Amino acid sequence: MNVLLVYPQYPDTFWSFRHVLKFVKKRAAFPPLGLLTVSAMLPPEWERRLADLNVAELTDEQLDWADLVFVSAMLVQGDSAREVIARCRRRGKRVVAGGPAFTTGHAEFDGVDHFVLGEAEQTLPAFLRDLAAGDPQPLYTAAGWPAVTGTPAPDWRLVDFRHYATMAVQYSRGCPFDCEFCDIIVMNGRVPRTKTPAQVLGELDALYAAGGRGALFFVDDNFIGNKARVKELLPEIIRWQKAHRYPFRLFTEASLNLADDPELLSLMSAANFFRVFLGIETPCADSLRECGKMHNVGRNMGESVRIIQQHGLQVMGGFIVGFDHDPDTIFESQIRFIQQVGIVTAMVSVLTALPQTRLWHRLKAEGRLLSAASGENTDGSLNFVPRMDRERLLEGYRRIITTLYAPRNYYRRIHTFLKTYRPTVRGKPSWSDFKALFRSMWRIGVFSRSCLLYWRLIIGTALTRFRAFPIAVEMAIYGLHFQRVARRAARPPGERESIRLRT
């Protein structure tokens, strides 16, 4: 059996880092970890190939080779996934689809022969048994959440490491919190399920042996969802990193209560974590209560961010406007909070009702749901009727984006961040890092409107805080990407694709 594993293309989004990839000569930010894990679950005698459309175009020759085409996609990849499915149908190929976009909205996709939904550990074996018996069903679903202690390591044989900026592994699934807008608990549940430390070290060994180095993303829904377990894991990672001379710089997603645990922060720092994404959402306490983000209520969120950054972890923040309880001043409040705290990478989005979330069900019951979600966090679209005037909300959102990513404000946040940040990351810079620096000197230092701000940052950091120099260069490069995404998001929807953005 020949199986082609297809990963659809990402549009140019906040997290695609498309404009950053040029500096490091990479084609995609991350490999398709889900498909690589599925590949490891397939019968060993099957032939398999990976077609990542973020790396190269899908060819007819690849499709003609395949007996089965497996497609996995996030919601934001939906349009590309539909194009892939249509091409498969035209060439008479059987399509098997799974992953988040299909799990929460498979009825939106035509032309799929077999939907294998939910977590593959539960549903893929049943499909494979039926396929072997000659009677595969059109839909496979499962109740409950499988243990991940039997999940195999990703099939790294399919990946050309030269194409990717960052590698990825997974330690846990699920999140203990119940935010109304979040689809994590819909797909992965509220009880975090973890791999064993031996499993994680085995995956690190396999990735290292295959040639992986550099930045490594723990793609967990909430890495600290089970603090007791993660405190058992981190000392093992620390020993592994030290024995291998720190080949990986780690980052992940977590919750703001990370700031409450000095022991956990110290362990993450020692394990070579250097960055963490946190869902901060809003400085409005009433809106936090509305969406069920109770672990952010009643705390000084700015101080929590500073504590985390003082332990060597750069905070990337997620923010939302459009809650029912947002006051008219929410736009200025968001800007002020982000600037004062120094959250350089601030992903601000308009509230979106993702499929099957509590928010989606509530808005549907209230008659306020308008359309399906695009999955793009920063496209400024609304798929429901907000309490605030629609045009006021969208105009306020555009004002946040353009203000935050105006070059002077962006660089001001970098300087604010560097005053708090205490770099602890270990490992030697790669030749790719040096090339990115030289390209940034030319591209940003000479040809961008941020050139003076760039040189002030680069020279000042080199002279006064040299250990923070690599992250200062990285942030300057990221600034180009964020500015382009912000300019696109700030335009009315009909104009976004028709205008070529300049830096």
Q: Hey, what are 200's tokens?
A: 């994680």
pLDDT at residue 497 in the model: 47
Q: Is the pLDDT of residue 198 over 80?
A: yes
Q: Hey, what are 473's tokens?
A: 């260069």
Q: Write the DSSP symbol of residue 151.
A: P
Stretch among 69-78, 450-459, 489-498 having the lowest mean pLDDT: 489-498
Q: Is the pLDDT of residue 501 over 50?
A: no
User: Coil, helix or strand for 283?
Assistant: coil
Give tens-digit pLDDT for 298-309. Answer: 999 999 999 999
Q: Is the pLDDT of residue 499 over 50?
A: no
pLDDT at residue 494 in the model: 56
Stretch among 252-266, 303-317, 480-494 having the lowest mean pLDDT: 480-494
CATH architecture group of domain 2-140 = 3-Layer(aba) Sandwich (3.40)
Place 144 in a pLDDT band, splitting at 50, 70 and 90.
Answer: confident
**Strand spans (E) along 84-198:** 94-98, 114-116, 139-140, 167-169, 172-173, 193-194
Provide mean pLDDT across the span 282-294. 98
Q: Is the pLDDT of residue 100 over 50?
A: yes
β partners of residue 5: 50, 70
Q: Is the pLDDT of residue 343 over 50?
A: yes
Average pLDDT, the chain: 94
Rounded Cα–Cα distance for residues 248 and 246 (Å): 6
β partners of residue 193: 173
Q: What DSSP assignment string belongs to 326-349? A: --TTHHHHHHHHHHHHT-SSEEEE
Give tens-digit pLDDT for 28-77. Answer: 999 999 999 999 999 999 999 999 999 999 999 999 999 999 999 999 99
Domain ranges of the chain: 2-140, 426-490
Q: Hey, what are 483's tokens?
A: 């500015």
pLDDT at residue 377 in the model: 67
Is 405:335 a contact under the CB 8 Å cutoff? no
Q: Hey, what are 317's tokens?
A: 């923040």
Give tens-digit pLDDT for 456-480. Answer: 999 999 999 999 999 999 999 999 9
User: Coil, helix or strand for 220?
Assistant: coil
Q: Output 20 or 46, whichever has higher pLDDT.
A: 46
Q: Is the pLDDT of residue 135 over 90?
A: yes
pLDDT at residue 6 in the model: 98
Provide mean pLDDT across the span 117-144. 96
Q: Which residue has the tokens 């030749």?
A: 431
